[in-house]
Structure 1
Amino acid sequence: MYPELFKIGPFTVYSYGLMLGIAFITASWLLTKEIERKKLNPNLATEITILAIVFGIVGAKLLHLIENFDAFLNDPVGMAFSPGGLTFFGGLVLAIFAIWIYARRKKIPFLVIADATAPALALAYGIGRIGCHLAGDGDYGIPTNLPWGTNYENGTVPPSIMFQGSEIAKNYPGGIVPNNTPLHPTPIYEFLICVIIFTILWKLRKKDLPDLSADKAGGKAGWIDGKLFMIYLLFISIERFSVEFLRLNPRIIFDLSEAQLISVGLFFVGIIGLIYFAKNKDLKKFIPPPIEVSQKSKGKGQK
């Protein structure tokens, strides 16, 4: 694999960091488009993106340290400040919490912002997985004889202590997968699935607008705020739950990994949310206030 792409003077450009940057830039652009379509203040997109980056990385790192607490105790500084070692669900949960607080302060319903971020989240996660694949950082799958099995040579393999109790410890007691062993390229699987999820969500996002076509008596109300985000939770939880069966993560309970248990929780949140919306179709949609125009902008318009 290619954990290091090239160097610019004393600086090294890492494949994972580069793809993470591309993921955030893409998500920011998509979010800006959605914020504008929903007639919200365009500045929200920048502020939400910054919150997502900061709290997403912090949350992802914290959950990774919790998952690998023994390794963290052995090398706290190295584990805490390593460029890799990010767990998606930790970042997702903490970023959602931060954006929820932000939405309350801005007096905008959280679900409105959640709907706007859903497609961007799906695609950004998939792009980030390409970074994992290029770095070969331990997110690969179990051995396979399929033609597309991948040898993760030169990858950055985590310390063996992080794999205690996992499938890799059973198959490779030394903790490092041999270079000549083809493995399921699970990051590629996730990227492809996330592109499909993004495409579906991007097509569904305009369902929040009322359908006033002539062949529908009285028209049809748009989707309730939050429905698209609940669908995102369903898709992303099913995706991760399924792919985990091909990955090397430790099994915690009922032969399921931690990511699968979190996926089950998110799946039920999505189901409960959709059921609630189905039973409360008369919920009022958020109407954004007019965007304030600065005096400077007004002056330019009068010239």
Structure 2
Amino acid sequence: MYPVLFKIGPFAVNSLGVFWALGALVGGWIIRLELRRYHYSPELANTWVVAGMLGGLIGARLLFVVEEWSEFVRSPWGFIFSGAGFTWYGGVLGGALALTWVVRKSDIPWLRAADISAPALALGYGIGRIGCFLAGDGTWGKVTDVPWGVAFTNAIFGWVDPITGIPYPPGVKVHPTQIYELIQSLVVFGIVWLLRKKTFAPGTIFWLYLTLTGSMRFTVEFWRMNRVVGLGMTEYQWISIVLVALGLWQILRVRPQMAA
């Protein structure tokens, strides 16, 4: 893997940062296109992206702290500045709250803003996952012998079991779940992008995005290395169930409005 793409003098250009930045740029470009299509100022995209990134980073970090509370209280400052540890669902929640705060200052209804953002969220996340794969950020899957298994021997945070912290023995390969999530994100993006111009009630595209993303995250968790918390499922699978249920409920709720 390539945690460092190249160096400029003493400065290392990290693959994780490059691809997450690229995902934000591509997401911002998509938002500009959608704002223009709805006859809003495309310049709003800059504010949305910055707010979403900051809120997403804070939310992703805070939820990780909650999940790893025992490690955090053992060494708070070292934990905060370690550079490790972000959770996708925390990022979504933090980004959504930040976007809500920004949108309230404009004349764009929140559900319309969510529809505008949905394709950008899907594609931007997928691009970011390329960086996770190249860097070996610990979000890989379970040990496997499938032909496409990968050994992240020079992973940015060490080639160790993400749960136990025990180093993997030589020759071990794991599921490249970052690539699985990239493929899933491209599928979600393709669906919401193709459907975005159809006549739906405001919010439908976003709720569809939430439903599809939750369903696919639930599936990929069977190959991810996360702790099981109940009934044989991980914390993220339980969160996925909630998001899928919320998305489906909202889609079914607005269908009578569409018929009317």
TM-score tier by shorter-chain length is: over 0.9
Say which SS state the counterpart of residue 53 (structure 1) adopts.
helix
Pick from 193, 201, 206 the counterpart of residue 224 of structure 1.
201
The 2-side partners of 1:178 and 1:138 are apart by 16
Q: CA RMSD in A?
A: 1.9
The 1-side partners of 2:76 and 2:140 are apart by 24
Q: CA deviation digits over 1:108-128, x for unaligned, max 9?
A: 211101000101100111111
Q: CA deviation digits over 1:269-294, x for unaligned, max 9?
A: 101110111122267xxxxxxxxxxx
Tell me if 1:202 matches 2:169: no
Deviation at 1:193, TM superposition (A): 1.4
Q: 1:179 to 1:31 in 2, by over 3 A?
A: farther
Match for residue 236 of structure 1? 213
Pick from 220, 223, 227 the counterpart of residue 246 of structure 1.
223
Match for residue 109 of structure 1? 109
- The code of the aligned residue for 1:112 comes to R
Q: 1:3 to 1:78 in 2, by over 3 A?
A: farther
Q: CA deviation digits over 1:131-183, x for unaligned, max 9?
A: 111111211111111110111111134697972xxxxx3xxxx5222342111
Q: CA deviation digits over 1:38-72, x for unaligned, max 9?
A: 11122211111110111111111111111111222
Q: 1:160 to 1:238 in 2, by over 3 A?
A: same
Q: CA deviation digits over 1:189-211, x for unaligned, max 9?
A: 1101111111111111111xxxx
Where in structure 2 are there 5+ consecutive unaligned residues? none
Whether contact under 8 Å (1:157, 1:176) holds in the other structure is: no
Match for residue 142 of structure 2? 142
Tell me if 1:95 matches 2:86: no
- The code of the aligned residue for 1:250 comes to R
The 1-side partners of 2:179 and 2:159 are apart by 23
Deviation at 1:242, TM superposition (A): 0.4
Deviation at 1:104, TM superposition (A): 2.2
Whether contact under 8 Å (1:150, 1:182) holds in the other structure is: yes
TM-score (norm: length of structure 2): 0.94
Pick from 228, 246, 253 the counterpart of residue 269 of structure 1.
246
Tell me if 1:193 matches 2:184: yes
Whether contact under 8 Å (1:68, 1:162) holds in the other structure is: no
Please identify, of 18-27 and 68-77, the stretch whose mean Cα deviation from structure 2 is larger.
68-77
The 2-side partners of 1:179 and 1:38 are apart by 54
Greater Cα radius of gyration, structure 1 or 2: 1
Match for residue 260 of structure 1? 237
Deviation at 1:10, TM superposition (A): 2.2
Identity percentage over the alignment? 38
The 2-side partners of 1:66 and 1:179 are apart by 33
Match for residue 85 of structure 1? 85
Tell me if 1:125 matches 2:125: yes
Deviation at 1:102, TM superposition (A): 2.1
Deviation at 1:228, TM superposition (A): 0.4
Equivalent pairs counted in the alignment come to 260
Please identify, of 70-79 and 226-235, the stretch whose mean Cα deviation from structure 2 is larger.
70-79
Say which SS state the counterpart of residue 60 (structure 2) adopts.
helix
Say which SS state the counterpart of residue 39 (structure 2) adopts.
coil
- The code of the aligned residue for 1:106 comes to S
Whether contact under 8 Å (1:71, 1:79) holds in the other structure is: yes
Whether contact under 8 Å (2:84, 2:157) holds in the other structure is: no
